[in-house]
Chains A and B, each alone.
Chain A
Amino acid sequence: MVSALDARRTIDAVWKLESAKIVAALARMVRDIGVAEELAQDTLVAALEQWPRTGVPDNPGAWLTTIAKRRAVDHIRRSQLLTRKQELLALELDRQPESEPGTEPDDMLRLMLISCHPVLPTEARAALTLRLLGGLTAEEIARAFLVTGRTVTQRIADAKRTLAEQQVSFDLPGEEELGRRLASVLEVIYLIFNEGYSATSGDDLMRPDLCHEALRLGRLLAVLAPREAEVHGLVALMEIHASRAAARTGPAGEPVQLHAQNRGRWDQLLIRRGFTAMLQARRLGGPAGPYVLQAAIAVCHAQAPSAEATDWKQIAALYGALVQVLPTPVVRLNRAVAVGRADGPQAGLDLTEPLTAEPALRDYHLLPSVRGDLLVGLGRIEEARSEFQRAAALTKNAAERAFLLRRAATLAAPAPAGPTLGSLSRSFLSDAGLDAATVRSYGQTLGRLGRTLGEALPAAELTADQVAEMFAATWAGAAARTWNRHRSAVRSFGAWAELPGLAEQLERRPEPRTRSSPLDPSRVDTLCTGPGPTVRDRTLWRLLHESGAGVKAVLALDVEDLDLDDRCSRTGITWGPATALLLPQLLAGRTRGPLFLTERRPGPARLPTADLCPDTGRARLSYERAEYLFKQASGGLTLRQLKPRSAPPAPAPSRPPFTARSL
């Protein structure tokens, strides 16, 4: 007899190994991904109930398949399908699960194609794929992508609804269409791999679990669609990149660049697997697609016995071919690196010049980092230094930031040549007598200016052209009000720092009249201290006022999201003392569930459990209700008006579609 805990672990392991096959078979039977997944979940629940009591069956996979099929049959009977379907069912039931797993390779391929269907947004495709083909729970997916479990659950639910609404076909596409549909699958697998391989945020450089999931999916796909060269290309690319996992971080977790890696630590087994996959791809022939070309580049690196012996001419040529089929800014940047090695740093630097105006690379730390390297090669040390500093300011990864700052520091310090953009900005913000809200607002503008142009840039060299370029690349698409706010920041800064004309190329934009104007803080005080409103309402209003966050985001807060000591939420909302004072009263010991609850328990309606308090059974406060209460209390104002005058907008950094890999 196994312990309950062991049984749970075993079930989890069996489930992860078997669930894809089960969901795939169910999807074929019921022809609906959502229903198939629900039936699969029912099956899992059955195992969770039975196995701890009866022990794990001898053939757990077969047990699960049998139960799942029974559920599917029940479902189909309930939904009263046509007799023909019933006949098909009879056939289905005759299959013996022991000798026949009941899943054709085509079922798996179909499941993959549907999970990655182009009608779905990319994150939804990734979540659905990990869920249905990797057997991961919403929580596990959320951890991997550093989002909340609720977000993932929502993405998956939305995706399933979209697939049902669009009546996405369950039939396998023909040869020609297959290639196009597979492109979408490959994109998702590579996205999952990259999220693991070059963690875009957080403290670790890699989340190997995600790489592993992507590798599994890729290897599976190579068996399911063996005649597609790009599939083998992607597998080769991932195997070879994964082979460097151990060598690409140093003892302190810092990144080690490809040319400095200890090649003895490359995993020869994975390299060999990569080469094999590459041979498969070559054997299939045809014009080389983006994955095959990237894999070919990876192969070149893997074949070089030392960094010095790298065949950069060949790699530069491959990048030349790659930019033809995949002309993304990041590929162009990588090409610049290769050309820099093959034909000298000046040639590489020239290729990076047009990229500095590329909006997609605005927040991309590898652009200044690459330019820094090339400038070092040209002996332009001071410029290199400020490029590395910019790169450090842009990366969201702690280990990488430390590494870039060290690179900047090892280059000789420049002779003091008057104040720098960074130091002057800081003096301006602290000495110009601005109020706190203005400091916060201007600080954003100047911080961005510093990150784009380099904090170390001597202030005297700052020109109106540079400012105009940076504005165009950063805020061209921003709302008029945002644009004007940044513009005022530069104007005030220029006036204070005696850098006249700094904003002269920035046109003021006409602002549309807004219906709501922000409330006077004293009015907020009166509203929040009056006798009428409940603790909940006062907390909500204070929080909206102090955080400047969106109403939806605030109502979506869960108790688990809060960090009371640091006065912030995991979702990036921060608040001040007035809210901090009220929150403990509002929580009254609750440790989970929605932060803002309705007064009453809901009727037996279908609310997602994430919107119910697990302890009190009360539902999350709705926008409509919150808005109504505030209107009543304030005599007709809207919650949005609680947002302070200079609320910080959250800039959404765009993420380049491909990551510079061979740097």
Chain B
Amino acid sequence: MRYLMTTAANGSAPDEKLFAEMGKFIEELTASGVLLATGGLDPDSILVSSSGEEITVTDGPFAEAKEAVAGFALVEVRSREEAVELARPFRRIVGDGESRLQQVFTS
């Protein structure tokens, strides 16, 4: 089963140590065949909303950028618990904040 982990921005800029640790962690996850895709997201987002017939496109930045998703990881795991156990070391590396795990439905 696949899980998508999204991580909210915590406002602080990542330092070199974090980059190094994260790089190593991602390398390990890739090697073990668990990590399918990952990436960081530009805080500058474009909002596309619809109401009735009308589609509105709004360019960022937005005030509530702190809650915006800053990165994602798509992992293939055997169980929900395994997804949680992968999130644990990740959170240890990035420090305070939160990540969200959602199962990706595949047919």
Contacts and interface: CB of A to CB of B under 8 A. Distances in A.
A212 B76 contact: yes
A518 to B, nearest CB: 50
A265 interface: yes
B81 interface: yes
B85 interface: yes
Contacts of A218: 33
B32 interface: yes
A16 B78 CA distance: 9
B44 interface: no
B31 A59 contact: no
Contact of A13 (B32, B36, B79, B106): B79
Given A209-B78, A220-B31, A220-B32, A17 B85 contact: yes
Contacts of B34: 17, 216
B92 interface: yes
Contact of B85 (A60, A105, A209, A215): A60
B30 A223 contact: yes
Contacts of A212: 76, 78
- Max chain B Cβ within 10 angstroms of own Cβ: one of A9, A60, A217, A265: A9
B98 interface: no
Contacts of B37: 269
B101 interface: no
Contacts of A10: 81, 84-85
A16 B81 CA distance: 11
Interface in A13-44: 13-14, 16-17
B107 interface: yes
A48 to B, nearest CB: 14
B81 A13 contact: yes
Contacts of A217: 33
Interface in B69-92: 74, 76, 78-79, 81-82, 84-86, 88-89, 92
A219 B31 contact: yes
A105 B32 CA distance: 11
Interface in B1-58: 30-34, 36-37
A13 B84 contact: yes
Contacts of B31: 105, 219-220, 223-224
A215 B82 contact: no
Nearest to A10: B81
Contacts of A9: 79, 81
Nearest to B27: A223
A59 B78 CA distance: 20
A181 interface: no
Given A17-B86, A59-B92, A265-B107, A219 B33 contact: yes
A190 to B, nearest CB: 15
Contacts of B89: 59, 61
Interface string A260-288: 00000101010001000000000000000
Contact of A216 (B33, B81, B92): B33
B33 A14 contact: no
Contacts of A224: 31
A12 interface: yes
A212 B77 CA distance: 8
A478 interface: no
Nearest to B74: A269
A58 B79 CA distance: 20
Given A10-B81, A59-B92, A216 B107 contact: no
17 contacts: A12-B79, A12-B81, A13-B81, A13-B82, A13-B84, A13-B85, A17-B32, A17-B82, A59-B89, A60-B88, A215-B76, A216-B32, A218-B33, A219-B30, A219-B32, A220-B32, A267-B106
Interface of B: 30-34, 36-37, 74, 76, 78-79, 81-82, 84-86, 88-89, 92, 106-107
Interface of A: 9-10, 12-14, 16-17, 58-61, 105, 209, 212, 215-220, 223-224, 246, 265, 267, 269, 273
